[in-house]
Structure 1
């Protein structure tokens, strides 16, 4: 499990909730002047997940105003960038003379070296926050700083890829080992750097290593989204990303964590087929139909791959998972499958 600290206001007396959370936020981000109209009945839930030097924190709370004043900047500056993926709610960010509104599916950004004010709308909100040291970002500060304050969408491109990564890490944080934290933090730094570079059209300032890693992550996300299509193969994956097959293989050799592109595609298909076989909803769907709906064109190839991966044929796995008797045949496929 990744190192994690959980804060829930319901564990404290009402009079102490806001002040305790204010202290936590000053440690998570930087000293700030936090204000709320709900101090006496304040509600907040936050998890701080450590990814080495990077912190990710899912947060839900009542409306709040965050201020980082010039005096606070002079007194303490951890030299970090902040991003918030807005899951629910809306607000306004003011930095100097610029004011930007943000809403669900946007990112808002700030810089601990620059004064700012963030006012959330008069409703509770939900975000996934990121605190990342400037030194970790694979962009020169003069470049990265130009992205701060700009409105960035999480609906497509690198914004969507970063959102997928954040959702998975926060949802599955208990499945990772502590040693995975710094590696995940490095991936996150590369994704944020690529996001900023895309916003500024400054891709030339990224290192080749970051380009390769970001491209590999985009390809993996593409494979996950399209694995059920039986037409998806290695040439199709390469063509969709405007690269050669040989370069695709080299990317996975460098950044694939020991798995080939073909192996990653097959792993996605097998894991989904395995899940369907263990699901009572699909009990009436023949094995070859499950193979087909998960992208396998040939039932025999699916059976061999499944047995190699899980140590038993798919039909035997289904019987074991569902407690069926040997020899029992499916009688009907579920409607809408």
Structure 2
């Protein structure tokens, strides 16, 4: 770690038998690294900053364990689903874990020119309390945890696109922290709002009152603006809600563990208040009734799984 592009000095009481695991995902110009480590002390001193400064912002999402950071005259403590932020040109000391505690975290490195905020604004966000339990922070945490869970489906060409999404989320989090969302570029604001809308819909599919109007109100935009937001995706908000509800219901119907749950209960679970309307919508989407679909899925030879056409082309270290 002392010879990287942003060198740090590491020390640990467990140095004689130190255990750690880290993966690296390269998303275009950005890097994500999930790590599991024993307690350690990381120092990026003024001397190391002078040796090499790549000009990056760095965020660390704590998933398990605790950490403490200090820089200038400030200190901060971090618990699960807190976010630590720092930049590469400012000395900082971070104590990761304590008392035999194993710490799991996800780090993010993003070049400062890819943060869609004026530099002086982004700098003011560094060191401020950042929570990943709600709002934009929760969106970022959800993106990172899903990203690292399974990279087998990603291709090399997905890297830059995923990096663009990550950059927008980091920019939006900084802007939210500073209450300066108007400083985001229009493109970054639209992409972040789209992600927020999708996340909101996914969390509220069970609510029969989930409509385009309630989605718009929850995001402080007009219904007409919400429709325009999704024009490029060739789907209306109402159709998106219906499609997601049907997909969740389909998964439950195909789940052997839920074979005894009545169809109408599964429909109600995902926001369908009228069984007949659910049946019509399901038949239109899948060409069969919910009951017949369930029966066929529980007969292994009736609807065979599609054979894979090949092996994934990417891995955790190949998402470039």
TM-score bucket of the superposed structures, by smaller chain: 0.7 to 0.9
- SS of aligned partner of 1:229: coil
3-state SS of the aligned residue for 2:273?
coil
**What CA distance in whole angstroms lies between the structure 1 residues aligned with 2:293 and 2:154?**
27
Q: Could you tell me which residue of structure 2 aligns to residue 157 of structure 1? A: 135
Structure 2: stretches of 5+ with no match in the other structure: 303-320
Q: Is the 8 A contact 1:319 1:325 kept in 2?
A: no
Pairing 1:193–2:174 present: no
Cα distance in 2, alignment partners of residues 324 and 167 from structure 1:
33
Asked if 1 retains the 8 angstrom alpha-carbon contact of 2:38 and 2:97, the reply is no
Q: What SS does structure 2 have at the residue aligned with 1:174? A: coil
Q: Does 1:30 align with 2:14?
A: no
Quote how far apart the aligned CAs of 1:138 are: 0.1
Shift of 1:55: 1.1
Of 162, 175, 183, the residue aligned with 2:161 is 183
Q: Is residue 305 of structure 1 aligned with residue 281 of structure 2?
A: yes
Q: Is the 8 A contact 1:81 1:134 kept in 2?
A: yes
Say if 2:47 is the partner of 1:90: no
Following TM superposition, by how much is the alpha carbon of 1:315 offset from its aligned partner in structure 2, in angstroms? Answer: 2.2
Q: Which runs of 5 or more residues in structure 1 are unaligned?
A: 1-21, 327-337
Q: Secondary structure at the match of 1:118?
A: strand
- The answer to whether the aligner puts 1:260 opposite 2:260 as a matched pair is no
Cα distance in 2 for partners of 1:152, 1:48 equals: 23
Q: Deviations over 1:259-284 (max 9, x none)?
A: 33223212221121111101223212
**Contact in 2 for aligned 1:56/1:130 (Cα 8 Å):** yes
Partner of 1:231: helix, strand, or coil?
Answer: coil
Task: Give the aligned partner of residue 213 of structure 1.
Answer: 191
1:102, 1:151 within 8 Å by CA — same for their partners in 2? no
- Please, which of 42, 54, 73 is the counterpart of residue 18 of structure 2? 42
Q: Which residue of 1 aligns with 2:56?
A: 80
Q: Where do residues 309-328 of structure 1 align in structure 2 (5 Å cutoff)?
A: 309-323=285-299
Deviation at residue 306 of structure 1 after TM alignment: 2.6
Matched, 1:170 2:144: no
Of 139, 156, 164 in structure 1, the residue corresponding to residue 117 of structure 2 is 139
Deviations 1:19-58 (Å, cap 9, x if unpaired)?
A: xxx37xx64x721111112122111121211211111121
TM-score, normalising length from structure 1? 0.83
1:224-263 equivalences in 2 (<5 Å): 224-254=202-232, 257-263=233-239
Q: Number of aligned pairs?
A: 300
DSSP-derived class of the 1:139 partner: coil
Q: Distance in 2 between matches of 1:316 and 1:48?
A: 45
